[in-house]
Amino acid sequence: MKPTEKAALGAGVGGLITAAVLYWLLPGAVWWLPVLIGFLVAGGLHQQIVKDMAAARIADGDIPTRDNS
């Protein structure tokens, strides 16, 4: 599994957990509110995880340089 696929899986699980907790905390809310917030959390988590992975690769020097010859 690629690292970005692992990031997507982790973000999806985080969003699912967030939606489940909100559904449990707010049982009278409309059904789409926990779903929407779960999607937003998953998107934010994925974006941050990918940024952190890219920063780690740059810091480790794993990014090959471009040869502009």
From residue 12, give the alpha-carbon distance in Å to each of 5, 18, 33, 49, 59: 10, 10, 17, 12, 27
CA distance 28 to 26: 6
- pLDDT tens-digit readout, 10-65: 999 999 999 999 999 999 999 999 999 999 999 999 999 999 999 998 888 877 66
pLDDT of residue 6: 95
Q: What pLDDT sits at residue 66?
A: 67
